[in-house]
Amino acid sequence: MIGKEKIANLVNEKLNDDQFLVDVTVSSSNVIHVMVDSDSGISINQIVEISRHVENGLDREEEDFELSVFSAGLSEPFRLVRQYKKNEGTEIEVLLANGHKMIGLLNMADDKGIDLEVTTKEKIEGSKKKELVTKVHHFEYSEIKEAKKIIKF
């Protein structure tokens, strides 16, 4: 079986400063999936270059494999702190470990957690109707089961 570490090293050799490896999976039948991302976007040509570099670094005569290199899609959940930092200032959906779902603006992301600005309609004391209330919630990464970017058209 081809090692994940070998694949990760080959991928990292080809990445630019603003590009990063998100995930590598290798199945028992040597089906390799490599997910990469970038702070400023990644082109199909860059994906092809990474794929060719990995393929050239492996020997099909020694072990046959299937290789798939792709960028982190818009619907993919965040897996790295760097992806949270990249998406500061955008609207995200957060599924908490307790099952609660929140949608809000990702104000800040650091190595420990995130600040999510959530606006909801709430009944204010002394008011007859619900009003918009904005609150900032802080979540540690251990409290987050899944988070992904909201796509609006």
| pLDDT 10s digits, 6-20 | 999 999 999 999 999
Looking at the structure, give the CATH architecture of the domain made up of residues 81-149. Roll (2.30)
CATH class of 4-71: alpha beta
Q: Which residues of 21-56 are buried (b: 16+ CB within 10 A; e: fewer)?
A: bbebebeeeeebebbbbbeeebeeebeeebbeebee
Identical fold, 4-71 and 81-149: no
The CA distance from 91 to 133, in Å, is 17
| pLDDT 10s digits, 61-120 | 888 999 999 998 878 899 999 999 999 999 999 999 999 999 999 999 999 999 999 999
Domain boundaries in the chain? 4-71, 81-149
